[in-house]
């Protein structure tokens, strides 16, 4: 159950981050409401994952890491943003770091 809650937290965080682009600095009310609701939901689901037994360090690393990767992917595909080689290496490091934290939690 902890991982289900964590995936919901990540999904909501990504929705909030993408919606913030459309809110134009919170000047547009509908995207601003979506940002606020999504971020509150994201923290709710993250807390639920912790209550279900998720280790906070591992959970936060997965939450933040996958959030960064998904938002970067959406930025590249949806908003036509460019990723440099250095940025791609950084994403690889995030993946490696999250994997190391997860593997280390089971040792």
Whole-model pTM: value is: 0.87
> What local confidence, expressed as pLDDT, does residue 106 receive?
73
Query: Average pLDDT for consecutive 10-residue bins of the chain (107 residues)?
Result: 97 97 95 98 98 93 92 94 94 89 77
> What local confidence, expressed as pLDDT, does residue 100 receive?
87
**CB half-sphere exposure, 79, CA atoms < 13 A:** 14
């Amino acid at each position: 159950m902890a991982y289900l809650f964590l995936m919901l937290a990540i999904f909501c965080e990504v929705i909030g981050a993408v919606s913030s682009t459309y809110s134009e600095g919170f000047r547009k009310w509908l995207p601003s409401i979506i940002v606020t609701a999504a971020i509150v939901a994201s923290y709710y689901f993250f807390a639920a994952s912790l209550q279900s037994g998720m280790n906070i360090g591992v959970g936060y690393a997965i939450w933040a890491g996958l959030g960064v990767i998904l938002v970067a992917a959406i930025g590249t595909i949806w908003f036509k943003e460019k990723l440099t080689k250095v940025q791609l290496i950084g994403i690889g490091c995030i993946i490696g770091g999250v994997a190391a934290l997860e593997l280390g939690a089971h040792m």
